[in-house]
Structure formats: C-alpha cells, structure tokens
Amino acid sequence: MTVRVRFAPSPTGMFHVGGARSALQNWIYAKQQGGVFVLRIEDTDAARNRPEWTEGILSALDWIGIARGSYEGPYFQSSYAGEHRAAAQRLYEGGRAYYCDCTREDVQARTGSQYSGYDGYCRDRGLTPGEGRALRFRTPDEGETVVVDLIRGEPTFENKLIEDFVIARGNGSPVFLLANVVDDMSMGITHVIRAEEHLPNTPKQQLLWDALGVKPPVWAHVPVVVNEKRQKLSKRRDKVALEAYRDEGYLADAMRNYLMLLGWAPSGDREIVPWSVIEEEFRLEGVNPSPAFFDEKKLRAFNGEYIRALSVEDFVAACRPWLTGTDTIAPPPWQPAEFDATVFAAVAPLAQTRIAVLSEIVPNVDFLFLADPLIDEAAWAKAMKEGSAELLDAATAAFEALPSWEAEPIKAALEAVGAERGLKLGKAQAPVRVAVTGRTVGLPLFESLEVLGRERTLARLRAARVRLV
Ligand code: GLU
C-alpha cells in the first residue's frame, strides 16, 4: 500500500500558522513513508473563497519548503461536485440516508429544549427528494465507532449519541463533511493528518466511509495551537498569518523548525536542528496531544539564531526585500538611488548580530542612506542634556582634526572629549549618536561613523547644533 496524505486547506483567508504546521507534518510523513502528498483546495464555500487566497496558499507552502510541482495537485474540491452528489444519491438509494423537512424550530418544539441534535423525526417518514428537504445520514442505533488515531490512540464514540447529521442541504448541495470524505476516498487517501478541531467530525466521517464501502483512513489529529492565555490562536486576536511572519522577516528555515516543535521535540536537549534531522526523527506517534503553545517570543529568539548562523553573503541577500520593498513589503524610507550596496555590505556584519527579524534592518541602517537622519524626538530629548551643545562642538573639532577616519581613532577622540568634561564614553556617545543616526540605539557607533564618512558625520553634528539653539 502506498501512503497517500493530503493537506486540504479552505482558501478563506491568510494562511494560518497552525495550517502550515499540519502541512509540514503531512509532508514529512509522506516522505518518511515513501508516500505521496496531495494538495486539495477545499473551495466549495463559494461565498468565503477567493482565488487570490489559493495563490496565497501555494506561495506560503512554497516558502516553507513544500514547493509547487513536488506534490500532487492542487486539486479543487469544487471540480468534484458531481462525485459528491453521486455519493449522496448512493447513500439515499441504499437506505443509509433519508430526506427531512424539519426546521430547527420544529425539532425544538418537539423536544421542548435547546436544540441539541436532531431527534430522528423523519427517519421513517419516507420523504422523497424535494426543494427544502435536507438529506440526513441514518447513524447506527447501536455499536460504537472506533477511530484509529496515531496521536490519540483509539477515541471511541457511541453511535447512538451521534445524531442523524445532514449530508446534503435543502437545495441539494452536499455539505463539507461529505465532500471531504468523498474526495479523500477518490484521491486514495490512506492517512488523514489534520487539526484537532476536526476530531468531532471524525466519527461521522468514518461512518460515511463505512457506509460507502471503503476502508477508512488512519487518522492523526494534531494538537490545537494556543496563545499564552491558552486560547486557540485566532485571526482576530493573534498574529496567525504565515505571510505576516514572512513579511516581518522571519526566515523560512527558522519558521518551519519552530512549527515542528509545536507538540514535538527532536532527540537530545536541542530545539534548533537542521531540517534533515527533523525529517529523520519526527514521528507522528510522538506528537503530544495537548494544546501546543505558539510562543512568539521564542520564535523571535529562534529567528535571531538562524539569522546569526547565515553567512554574511546570505544575510545580505536575505535583507534585500526590506532594503528595496516588494509587492508585500513596504519600501524603505530612502529613495532607491540613495541606497548603496557597498555601504550596506560594510555594516551588514554589525547588523547581523543585532537583529532578530529581517525587517529590523531598516531602522538600523536608514541613517546611512537618507540625506538627513530621521530624528526620533523622544530619543533626542533623552540624549540632549545641558552641555550637549558644547560637547558636540568639541567632538566636531576633534573629528575634524583626526589624521584618519577610522573607528578606533574616532572613538579615542570622543573618549578624550568626554573625559575633559568628566563624562564616561557612554554618556559622551549619546548626543553624538542621536545627532548622526536620529536614535539612541543602533549599530556600534564608531564603526557606523567610519562607514558614514567624515563629511556626512560633521554635517550632521553641525545640523544638530543648529537644532539645539
Ligand atoms: N478544509 C478543512 C479546513 O481547512 C480541512 C479538513 C480536513 O483536513 O479534513 O479546516
């Protein structure tokens, strides 16, 4: 038997990090088993689907290493509407489903309670198909449905507690539950690895597999992803879009490594491991079924480590989108002609050790490419104290007099200027830094000044002096 898994997202919005995690787990499982990964876009809910979201899914998968062309599909669920209807018809003809014209209110009036599932009223009424009549699956009165789940053991559901659920709406269109099963069946899916949120659907779906006469797949329900308050990650409340992380400057390698740690860990006391190790060591059976905490702070720290592990050359290349702007990344504050790749290359190693996400490169280097630095007023107010004007004058004079413009002598000159005024280097640096870069924090100051050049440094010190009077 060839293992066939699928990732079956609905194109209803940005690509959720939890979805990315499930996709990677499917991907690795297929690879380990010598199987096939199928991508199916579940686009039947026409009102909520948009083609650009499908493109978003494909490019997000590409980004985390599931490249177009290296899997089967994408298939589109909407192309199989005929098969879904045929399956509904077969279930009806075989007596496994029946038509029902009850409204929710009808059921409530009969049961005298809140709606807590269908009461089976139409089971034996023999209604024929007709507008407004839903098709319901006749669930068995006895026995139990045992779901074989690689992560959760064998969750068992008593059949009599499973209501006769709807498989096609009053207008004849099959519902998700059925369409999803029929597609898995016709695509020969052997293992369904998906989010825990679908577990309540699973006994119903397995009953459909049985009723349609096909051996059900093996299931694996991967844990729900939660925020620090243990709430399910939601797109309204949390940053969940993979694209948002990508555009903020998370590296794909860091992201996929982190995503795989949601509910699983590699051997030894390690978390940051090469992808090849994850591919080798990951076991679906080893995934912890409890909710997995998506810790953005930890992801950030991870990303910083991945950034530091890049060669300088790769780091420079990785920063490019933020230095130029792209379709989805805002352009930097400087004009394209103001950017100088040689200057950037000179400071890149300094920045590489200091940023955790690539977008942070921009505020660290903008002073090099803008004609005038962007002055952060709060930083200015903090750094410019009584005596700063005089200190800037002295620094300007000392810098002008330097025989060569290099970090070490620049530092020594400012150190001397500070010492004459009873100031430690840190205190003497602050007004110079804000005058030249506009900020109180940033790259090492003296290297920055060296790269900026003497003329531009002096011009900014003078401009700051003017601002101070
Ligand atoms: N389309 C469903 C979703 O996006 C997936 C269903 C499944 O994996 O079985 O949640």
Calculate mean pLDDT across residues 319-339.
96
- Which tens digits make up the pLDDT trace of 342-381? 999 999 999 999 999 999 999 999 999 999 999 999 999 9
Tokens of 148: 């074989």
Mean pLDDT value across residues 306-335:
97
> Is residue 47 predicted with pLDDT exceeding 80?
no
Atom 3 in ligand 1: which residue has the minimum CA distance? 9
Region 152-163: mean pLDDT is 96
Q: Residues 391, 428: contact at Cβ < 8 Å?
A: yes
| Pairing mode, strands 191-195 and 218-222 | parallel
Per-residue pLDDT at 7: 98
User: Ligand 1 centroid vs 225 CA: distance in angstroms?
Assistant: 15
Average pLDDT over residues 134-152: 97
The span from the CA of 281 to the CA of 285, in Å, is: 11
Q: Whose CA is nearest to atom 6 of ligand 1?
A: 8
Nearest CA to ligand 1 atom 2: 9
CA–CA separation, 174 and 370 (whole Å): 59
Mean pLDDT over the full length of the chain: 96
- Greater pLDDT, 73 or 52: 73
- Summarize the confidence of residues 409-431 as an average pLDDT: 97
Residues that are catalytic: 235
Please, are residues 258 and 300 in contact by the beta-carbon 8 Å criterion? no
Ligand 1 atom closest to the CA of 22, numbered from 1:
8
How many angstroms does the Cα of residue 307 sit away from the middle of ligand 1?
33
Alpha carbon 294 to chain centroid, angstroms: 10
Ligand 1, pocket-test mutation among 14, 17, 29, 42, most atoms within 8 A of CB: 42
Expressed in angstroms and rounded, the spacing between residue 82 Cα and the centre of ligand 1 is 20
Average pLDDT for 252-276: 96
By most ligand atoms within 8 Å of CB, the mutation choice from 5, 39, 84, 194 for ligand 1 is 194
**CA of 2 relative to ligand 1 center, distance in Å:** 22
Q: How far is Cα 295 from Cα 276, in angstroms, rounded to an integer?
A: 23
Distance 372 CA to ligand 1 centre (A): 52
Question: What number is the average pLDDT over the span 256-281?
Answer: 96
Query: What is the mean predicted confidence (pLDDT) over 80-93?
Result: 97
Candidates 180, 183, 242: which one to mutate for ligand 1, based on the most atoms within 8 Å of Cβ?
Answer: 180
Q: Structural domains in the chain?
A: 4-76+176-225 (3.40.50.620), 84-168 (3.90.800.10), 242-319 (1.10.1160.10), 327-467 (1.10.10.350)
Atom of ligand 1 nearest to the CA of 6: 8
Q: Please choose, from the candidates 18, 5, 9, 96, the residue with its C-alpha nearest in 3D space to the C-alpha of residue 53.
A: 9
Ligand 1 binding site (Cβ under 6 Å of any ligand atom):
8-10, 42, 180, 192, 194, 198
pLDDT of 312 over the 90 cut:
yes
pLDDT at 48: 72
Q: Give the rounded percent of residues in the chain with a pLDDT score beyond 70.
A: 100
- The whole-model pTM stands at 0.92
- Please give the pLDDT value at position 65: 97
Average pLDDT over residues 7-30: 94
Atom of ligand 1 nearest to the CA of 180: 9
How large is the greatest C-alpha to C-alpha distance in the chain, in angstroms? 101
- Report how far ligand 1's centroid is from the alpha carbon of 195 (Å): 8
Atom of ligand 1 nearest to the CA of 195: 8
- Of the pLDDT bands very low, low, confident and very high (cuts 50, 70, 90), residue 114 is confident
Encode pLDDT of 49-59 as tens digits: 777 888 999 99
Q: Tell me phi and psi for residue 460, to 5 degrees.
A: -75, -35
Residue 421 has pLDDT above 90, yes or no: yes
> At residue 115, does pLDDT exceed 80?
no
Ligand 1 atom nearest the C-alpha of 176 is 1
Is residue 318 scored above 80 in pLDDT? yes
Residues sharing a CB contact under 8 Å with residue 325, sequence separation 6 or more, in sequence order: 331, 332
Is the pLDDT score of 27 beyond 90? yes
- Per-residue pLDDT tens digits for 181-232: 999 999 999 999 999 999 999 999 999 999 999 999 999 999 999 999 999 9
Backbone angles phi, psi at 73, to 5 degrees: 105, -165
| pLDDT greater than 80 at residue 46 | no
pLDDT at 45: 76
Please name the helix (run of DSSP H) or strand (run of DSSP E) that holds residue 193, with its range, or none.
strand 191-195
pLDDT at res. 298: 97
